[in-house]
Amino acid sequence: MRIAQLLEIARIEFKTPLDQDWSLYSTTYNSHVPVTPKIVVLPANDEEVSCAVYCASVCGLKVQARSGGHSYASHSSGGIDGSMVIDLRKLQQLDFCEDGIVCAGAGVRLGHLAESIFTSAGAAIAHGTCPSVGIGGHFTHGGFGMLSRAWGLAMDHIVGLQVVMASGELITAMRGAADSFGIIVNFYLRTQQAPKAVVKWIINIPEAMTSVKNAVETFELVQDFVNNRHFVNRQLGLVVFLKHDRFTLEGTYLGTADDFSLMILSHLVSFLPHKRGIEVKFFQFDWLNLLREMAGGTPLVVDHSVATPQCFFAKSAAVANPGLSRDDMEEYFTYLLGNGAKTSIDYFIGVQLYGGADSQITSGFCISDSFGNRNAMWIFQHYGSPKGGLGSTEFPDEGVRFIEGLNKALGPGHGASSNYPDPSLKRDEALRLYYGAKLEALMELKGELDPEDLFSHPQSIPPKFR
């Protein structure tokens, strides 16, 4: 029996290429990585998710879930043509349990989660800033936010999961590399009281990018500073934004503007080696207004449609503690300043601070979870898009070479972030970079829980049998 007939019998909503609105459900977020599902299922509850998984198994289809649909490598569209996509947009439950735990349906977006838990209970969670990103892929592959050094990654807030397994059974679990093992229908998340005051700050250092020497000296100073326990603790969040003509520090501070100025800003600026033209801005916010500011002024609650398609190519690198060596910095900034102005694409570089003094991301690196970069100091994201705009469908080969060159210039031996999956990587290399020493155990777990590899995409964890 065909998959559509089975779903019709079960009275589960679905979309196929025969539907006039098919493109709204099937188009990938990254148009540079186009794939077409065979069918998109829209379950209304966990029982319908379970039934859909069983139907896919009977019909021999591979399955992937879609929460917000922002996968860089189109994994949330199956990763290859002909998969079943289980779109979770209808799973919008948000309920507070006891002890500050919130139960969130897997279709909830970050903005909706953040606004709802704050307005209902004055609560907060550390996660990313884009309101339309779904909690599913974000929380299960790490989930960095400006408050993560203080509170941990989004993943670290998970205290329980309700998961539909390959058998169709609904179980209660704790952690996992979700897209390889099952479909999460509910997240149980630890919250904390939202802070009364948070500072958002920006330091622009234009002279840093006038030479390789200046760039290296500035980055080295920043790296030394954030590792210095005399000045820095978990309250500081930081991302370095780079281009061939930009060196900007941007972050948050859990506390008042006066405390930030005294404890961080005065020391950091005094140590900077290239101060000419430096620009400093910082503003104090309450929690809700900080969320709105970090979202760029867009509404926190957005509709549940699939993300607007964009054309881009991105790579990442996870640099372990204590950070980059001076030789690696020199090679990297030589490449950036020499090639950044000549490239045919638009690009940005975001360097997220995971490590440093008192970081609550790296302090728990022995935790038994699937996250492979607990020892990271920096996560570099190299992101390029066509100069014709994000709506373009053609990404130039020269742009791919430039982005790949940025990663290579950091030197060998770094990991990569599964929150920014790179479709150009072969499965073996991708898994080694994403999961590191945890991969072997994850493969054995896959062999036990999904031996037929039902939950599969080009970079999913394959089963290994003892």
Among 137, 160, 194, where does a domain finish?
194
Together in a domain, 358 and 221: yes
Cα–Cα distance, 334 to 274 (Å, whole number): 18
Residue after which a domain boundary falls, among 151, 176, 194: 194
Percent of the chain with pLDDT over 90: 88
Q: What is the pLDDT of residues 123-142, one digit of tens each?
A: 999 999 999 999 999 999 99
Q: What's the rounded mean pLDDT across residues 48-69?
A: 96
Cα angle: 124, vertex 128, 131; to 5 degrees: 85
User: How much is the mean pLDDT over the chain?
Assistant: 94
Retrieve residue 131's tokens: 């309101």
CATH number, domain at 165?
A: 3.30.465.10
Q: Looking at the structure, tell me whether residues 186 and 329 fall in a common domain.
A: no
Q: Per residue in 184-226, pLDDT tens? A: 999 999 999 999 999 999 999 999 999 999 999 999 999 999 9
Whether residues 164 and 205 share a domain: the answer is: no
Residue 244 shares a structural domain with residue 354: yes
Q: If pLDDT is split at 50, 70 and 90, which confidence band does 394 have?
A: confident
pLDDT band at 170 (very low <50, low <70, confident <90, very high): confident
The pLDDT score that the predictor gives to residue 98 is: 80
Phi-psi group of 286: left, alpha or beta (phi > 0 → left; psi -120 to 50 → alpha; rest → beta):
beta
Q: Is the confidence at residue 401, as pLDDT, over 70?
A: yes
The band of 177, judged by pLDDT with boundaries at 50, 70 and 90, is low
pTM: 0.95
Q: Are residues 356 and 405 located together in one domain of the fold?
A: yes
Burial per residue of 133-143, b for 16 or more beta-carbon CB atoms within 10 angstroms, e otherwise: bbbbbbbbbbb
Give me the number of domains the chain comprises.
2
Question: Mean of the pLDDT values across residues 162-183?
Answer: 84
What does the pLDDT read at residue 391? 61
pLDDT digits (tens, 9 = 90+) for 89-125: 999 999 998 889 999 999 999 999 999 999 999 999 9
Kindly tell me if the per-residue pLDDT of 414 is higher than 90. yes
* Pair 116, 208 in one domain: no
For residue 145, what are the domain limits?
94-194
Q: Note whether 375 and 273 are same-domain residues.
A: yes
Q: Let me know whether 332 and 377 are in one domain.
A: yes
Note whether residue 445 is domain-resident.
no
Asked whether residue 231 is domain-assigned, the answer is: yes
Q: Are residues 190 and 205 in the same domain?
A: no
**86 belongs to a structural domain:** no
Q: Is residue 10 part of a domain?
A: no
Q: Is the pLDDT of residue 36 over 70?
A: yes
pLDDT in tens, 280-290: 999 999 999 99
pLDDT(390) > 90: no
The answer to whether position 12 is within a domain reads no
Q: Say if 186 falls within a structural domain.
A: yes
236 and 183 together in one domain = no
Residue 206 lies in a domain: yes
Is residue 185 domain-shared with residue 207, that is, in the same domain? no
Do 367 and 330 reside in the same domain of the chain?
yes
**What's the CATH code of the domain at 353?**
3.40.462.20
Residue 388 has pLDDT above 80, yes or no: no
pLDDT confidence of residue 175: 62
Task: State the pLDDT confidence band at 302, using cuts at 50, 70 and 90.
Answer: confident
403 inside domain = yes
Among 171, 194, 217, the domain boundary falls at 194
Of the listed ranges 289-298, 345-354, 375-384, 452-461, the least confidently predicted one is 289-298
